[in-house]
Structure 1
Amino acid sequence: MIKGQYDRNWAMTRNTGNPAHAHEGSQKAISKDGRIPIDLLISPIAELVTAESHDGPVRGEDMRDIKRIKNAAIAISGGQIIAVGLADEIKHAVVTDENTQIIDASENLVSPGLVDAHTHLIFDGNRADEFVMRSQGKTYTEIAAAGGGIVKSMRATQNADVERLVSLGRKRIERMLESGTTALEVKTGYGLEAESELRMLEAIYRLKSESVLDIVPTFMAAHAIPPGKERERYVDDIVNDMLPRVVAMATEQAEREGVHVSHMMPYIDVFCDRGYFTLEDTRKIFAAAIKLGLKTRVHSDEFVNLGATTLAVELGAASADHLLNVSDEEIALLAKSSTVAVLLPGTSFYLNLSDHAPARRMIEEGVAVALATDYNPGSCHISSLPFVWGLACLHLKMLPEEALTALTVNGAWAIGLGANIGQLRPGYQADVTIYDVKQLEEVPYNIGWNPVKQVIKKGRTVYSR
């Protein structure tokens, strides 16, 4: 099939790699002539864009081989996508009635809901002073040595109770939603001692339960070494005390919500870099996590290369993130692995770095590349994925189509949700972002302006302007 061409078979069927079917979730009976009743019809659409993946993240040239359909439509029922394709054909394939909501997107671009695979949005305090220091030429390391950085956020966060952390997190999530984000990963990491880190995790669970967005928790007590604590002793505290308590908390949360414990188990993350945690520390923490049934992801090669990416591939980590200093050998390892490379161009931009992650080389070698904000209080106070989209095109030299793939289907696979979200495809969850522009290229082109007009989550409008 020609790149981007409309495929009629694809419009009404689901790939066999996922057990969901096009009509699941609908409580309405299919009409006698075989047409499907729907709750929501988005039609006509100026341009519909979506990447496509059957059984994992998209790689290589396929990252740019997205579907682009002019004068398109999406039919939704029961929170799931029922049909996608040309507006005239979808109109004759579905049944609408007085209860069907119809959205006219004839002047709009429509994409899958955006997925933010790396955030640090649970914290208290303000580090605006560090922005000024950075504008005067201070580096990340110099700011940290002067008492700033992660440790400064630790002091404020340790004094915050769960209610405050939830309140602050809620406002930040709302801001992300307004920029088209429909699913995100959220880390702990500013408590740096057991009780504070577990309060942060509790806040994430609270937000996960109440939010309309899909939230995936990550426990990252190994974000920095707390002042006055020996690194080896702190690692032992994480391994012997915190991780077992994390599993207990996840189990209790699952019982409260009546879901399988796997739905509540957080990922475990480590900042493996100079001045933070060694490769040996990271291996020790990950070994303990895996033994407890926890999955891993890693902050790797941001400032120096300690071998964390090799370890991530060896242990089957879900993702290796940052990767500014990844080696050619590690790129080759990533290309042969299931580990997703989560690149964070907002961070290198915010830190005024001249070098960025080698996205072009990774894509050409077949690495599964995702993009995320790295939203945090100090090194990247950017919460907008459309802005990151623009930075990826300018600084990482990614094509707009590749960036879309990285921000949707590949981001979804990076946080374990790729079988259900990240694509506009029958049987997938109806997460849709509608933009106040007409074509794909206009999103990164309009860097600095939020082009998002409307967001639909599980078939329901959750943001509109």
Structure 2
Amino acid sequence: MPENSRASTQGREHQGASSEASKTTMVIHSIGELAIPPISKDGAIHGKEMANVARHKNAAIAIAGEKIVGIGTSDDILKEHGKAKDIQLVDAGGKLVTPGLVDPHTHLIFGGNRASEFIMRCQGKTYAEIAEAGGGIVASMRATRSATADELAKTGLFRLQRMLQAGTTTCEIKTGYGLDAQSELAMLQAIYKLRGQQPVELVATFMPAHAVPPGEDRESYVQEIVDDMLSRASKLSKEHGADAPIIDVFCDRGYFTLEDTRKIFVAAQALGMPTKVHADEFVNLGATKLAVEHQSLSADHLLNVSDEEITKLASSKTVAVLLPGTSFYLNLAEHAPARKMIESGVAVALGSDFNPGSCHIFSLPLIWGLACLHLRMTPEEALTALTVNSAYAIGAGDKVGQIAPGYQADITIYDVQTIEEVPYNLGWNPVNTTIKKGAIVHRI
């Protein structure tokens, strides 16, 4: 297989077996550059290995049903797979192809909007000042509590359709704007409803510990989460035939303490629920260290992560999910120390943090550009962070985020020729085609 000299392809080339060839349902051929992040069956890609993206020229991918079955040159794949009965041939026309993009951190379901806060921010108000004035998470809580699960799902559907057009094929969605049992469970119900209404694969995160509801005692609210809400969320997931939701906590100044977070983690893990944490966004409370100790899927934000915690992350399977769209949207002077993390051996992922207030950005190609500009990540590192590492950050790395035989055929085709051109073309959507589980679900 022809390849770019910057990345080794040893062990990655796959010629589909003849038994698979007869089952082939789609071949994507004439790919100008097929960019494949490092392959991993045992957790996210760490440190400098993130840059080892294989870049194949004149490549093709063979798909059988929902799975990838072959990768090779266009000539070889078409010769072996191209004559299968009822096969769909997709001409990539010399374009760039990557794995479908994975968003590991969104707050996509909410009622109302907070456009007025954007104006306040333009006038120099900080996140804390806006919250003190009655805005922030509590403002979204009021609007979300007044909406039904069906109404929340309807607005969520619109947003997911836009994300699909920008190349997102798998997306994590959090609750966290209800802040009482009834409303939080309605949000979780809306996530499960959305699974059957559109093609983006959804991973649910239950996050009643996003803020303390107005007028409530924090310790009492944490106890309610532990004693009641977690078990009810687990029961609801089983009713929908879904995996247990991930449990997330906003552990930071003015929100939940380290001890609150530990208490929720222990209760969640006793119910078989994986965990993650909003950590070190405003100040460092030790939440990243706690996440590593509890073998959490990820620690997210990390603007104020300590050197000690970076070292602990590097030797763990906990993924550092960085959100450059948020620090950009909040006009912060400092961003998460991505370069230090990567050079220290941390597994870094990237997410949008799409939400109604602090980051109203859903485009992962835009996040790709911001990661290169503000986090000083290379285009190759950012691609790995947006695919395989993001998948592991939500517990889905065994099936999505990679282009390899046996993985889901989740693929993004771009109207550019190389991966450098995605972050370079900041400000427009470069996605031409989105394929989910072997079916074209968006095409210009």
Question: C-alpha separation between the residues in 1 aligned to 2:410 and 2:21?
Answer: 23
Does the Cα contact within 8 Å between 2:413 and 2:432 map onto a contact in 1? yes
1:29-48 mapped onto 2 (5 Å cutoff): 30=18, 35-48=21-34
Measured after TM superposition, the shift of residue 37 of structure 1 is 4.4
Measured after TM superposition, the shift of residue 6 of structure 1 is 4.1
Measured after TM superposition, the shift of residue 247 of structure 1 is 1.4
- List runs of 5+ in structure 1 lacking aligned partners: 14-21, 24-29, 255-262
Question: C-alpha separation between the residues in 1 aligned to 2:391 and 2:428?
Answer: 24
Q: Which residue in 1 is equivalent to 2:157? A: 170
Q: Which residue in 1 is equivalent to 2:13? A: 11
Question: C-alpha separation between the residues in 2 aligned to 1:240 and 1:175?
Answer: 38
- List runs of 5+ in structure 2 lacking aligned partners: none
Question: C-alpha separation between the residues in 1 aligned to 2:24 and 2:342?
Answer: 39
Q: 1:241 aligns with which of 208, 225, 228?
A: 228
Does the Cα contact within 8 Å between 2:22 and 2:84 map onto a contact in 1? no
Question: C-alpha separation between the residues in 2 aligned to 1:354 and 1:36?
Answer: 56
Opposite residue 329 of structure 2, the aligned amino acid is Y
Does the Cα contact within 8 Å between 1:430 and 1:457 map onto a contact in 2? yes
| Seq. identity, % | 60
Question: C-alpha separation between the residues in 1 aligned to 2:174 and 2:101?
Answer: 18
Opposite residue 384 of structure 2, the aligned amino acid is T
Residues 266-323 of structure 1 deviation map (CA, whole Å, 9 limit, x = unaligned): 0000000000001111111111111111110000000000000010000010000000
Question: C-alpha separation between the residues in 2 aligned to 1:291 and 1:10?
Answer: 39
Q: Does 1:230 align with 2:217?
A: yes
Q: Which residue in 2 is equivalent to 1:426? A: 405
TM-score by length of 2: 0.96
Question: C-alpha separation between the residues in 2 aligned to 1:221 and 1:10?
Answer: 42
Question: C-alpha separation between the residues in 2 aligned to 1:83 and 1:247?
Answer: 38
Q: Which residue in 2 is equivalent to 1:51? A: 37
Opposite residue 422 of structure 2, the aligned amino acid is V
1:118-197 mapped onto 2 (5 Å cutoff): 118-197=105-184
Does the Cα contact within 8 Å between 2:27 and 2:81 map onto a contact in 1? no
Measured after TM superposition, the shift of residue 36 of structure 1 is 4.7
Measured after TM superposition, the shift of residue 96 of structure 1 is 2.0
Opposite residue 353 of structure 1, the aligned amino acid is L
Q: Which residue in 2 is equivalent to 1:206? A: 193
Measured after TM superposition, the shift of residue 208 of structure 1 is 2.1
SS at match of 2:152: helix
Opposite residue 31 of structure 2, the aligned amino acid is I
Q: 1:390 aligns with which of 345, 353, 369?
A: 369
Opposite residue 424 of structure 1, the aligned amino acid is I
Q: Does 1:82 align with 2:85?
A: no
Question: C-alpha separation between the residues in 2 aligned to 1:440 and 1:283?
Answer: 40
Does the Cα contact within 8 Å between 2:23 and 2:64 map onto a contact in 1? yes
TM-score by length of 1: 0.92
Q: Which residue in 2 is equivalent to 1:18? A: none
Measured after TM superposition, the shift of residue 264 of structure 1 is 2.2
Question: C-alpha separation between the residues in 2 aligned to 1:98 and 1:253?
Answer: 36
CA RMSD of aligned residues (A): 1.5
Question: C-alpha separation between the residues in 1 aligned to 2:393 and 2:72?
Answer: 27
Question: C-alpha separation between the residues in 2 aligned to 1:281 and 1:37?
Answer: 52
Aligned length: 440
SS at match of 1:224: coil
Q: 1:461 aligns with which of 432, 440, 444?
A: 440
